[in-house]
A and B are shown apart, each in its own frame.
Chain A
């Protein structure tokens, strides 16, 4: 039952992907390896599109993966799975706490998870780089854009648009 499976897998992501948007990427890599729902190349395209379309990245990627795997029902199953842990936890937190504070133990755990998240992002980033940086020219464009991103903060869309123009101009 593909819908139940999508729902379950994205529930897991909603529960374990701590932080914003792109931290769901390592989990999506696992999905592509375990189920073969999409290739790494498709995943990279989905990331780029999710960054440059309206809506939070995490939700966009869940929609994309769900829709490509099992159509409209798949998109709904994935998104509902992704947001359910949030909705349940926050309602619980809002009910239980009069003063909004994080529980100390939870805070320790989440802080402790972050270094592991960095490692997971590097592992995912390596697979993506392997696929995207096909030759020296791509490597140079990568170095140039990374320097630009670090020096001048602009929105992700701005840099993706620049990257698209460079791609066409240099016939990458």
Chain B
């Protein structure tokens, strides 16, 4: 078992070297907890990811909390999460402070115009992946179409749309069960 301070330090390191989403964190966690320290098996880590995927919140934080809890209970969960978010807080606040000053330099502005196109590309890529994985049968197409009409046509907030989709899924799931 790791001490609380060591636990925070390990997750600080993981946070510092994770670029992107929770998936990018996986190899780092394997290195720290499976190979180096043998606190977890690969299967256990995968289980944590699947739980992290089906509980509210960002996967990266869910998995960090999970591992921390297994190591040191509630205190461990909190300490791991704090360690994980600390690099984000420090780096982003630093960047946000200097960002405004350089934003108006001509070449920085050109670079950022390019980067904005790049960000649009990344979002399009995420959409294509999500589409392939999550939209197949008729019910999914209908939920998708309904959500799109509400979001684009009626400017309904994202929170309401997510809640409505969850409710729809719950009701149709129960109906299917009772038919069987």
Q: Which residues of A contact B (CB under 8 A)?
A: 12, 14-22, 24-27, 29-30, 33-34, 41, 44-45, 47-60, 63-64, 67-68, 72, 75-76, 79, 82-83, 85-87, 89-91, 93-94, 100, 102, 105-126, 128-129, 131-134, 138, 141-142, 145-146, 149-150, 155-157, 159-160, 162-168, 170-172
Contact = CB atoms under 8 A, between A and B. Distances in A.
B69 interface: yes
Contact of B112 (A25, A45, A64, A82): A45
Contacts of B133: 114
Contacts, number: 361
Given A16-B159, A20-B58, A22-B21, A124 B123 contact: yes
B65 A86 contact: yes
B80 to A, nearest CB: 9
A51 B20 contact: yes
Given A86-B56, A90-B51, 10 more contacts: A15-B57, A26-B158, A86-B57, A86-B61, A86-B65, A112-B170, A114-B133, A120-B147, A156-B20, A163-B118
17 contacts: A30-B157, A34-B157, A48-B115, A48-B116, A100-B48, A108-B170, A109-B166, A113-B169, A114-B130, A114-B140, A116-B164, A119-B151, A125-B124, A142-B124, A155-B20, A156-B122, A167-B114
Interface string B137-164: 0001101111110011001011101111
Interface of B: 15-25, 47-48, 50-62, 65-66, 69-70, 74, 77-78, 81, 84-85, 87-89, 91-93, 95-96, 99, 107, 110-128, 130-131, 133-135, 140-141, 143-148, 151-152, 155, 157-159, 161-166, 168-170, 172-173
| Interface class of chain B by DSSP | helix
B59 to A, nearest CB: 5
Contacts of B18: 54-56
Contacts of B148: 119, 122-123
A59 B61 contact: yes
A53 B166 contact: no
Given A56-B15, A118-B134, A168-B110, A128 B74 contact: no
In the A-B complex, list the 3 residue pairs whose CB atoms are closest, starting with the nearest: A167-B114, A112-B169, A163-B118
A145 to B, nearest CB: 4
B170 A164 contact: no
A54 B141 CA distance: 36
B19 A52 contact: yes
B58 A59 contact: yes
Nearest to B113: A172
Question: Which one of A27, A55, A79, A164 has the highest number of Cβ atoms from chain B below 10 Å of its Cβ?
Answer: A55
A102 B51 contact: yes
Contacts of A94: 66, 69-70, 77
Contacts of A86: 55-58, 61-62, 65, 81
A64 B158 CA distance: 20
A129 B82 CA distance: 35
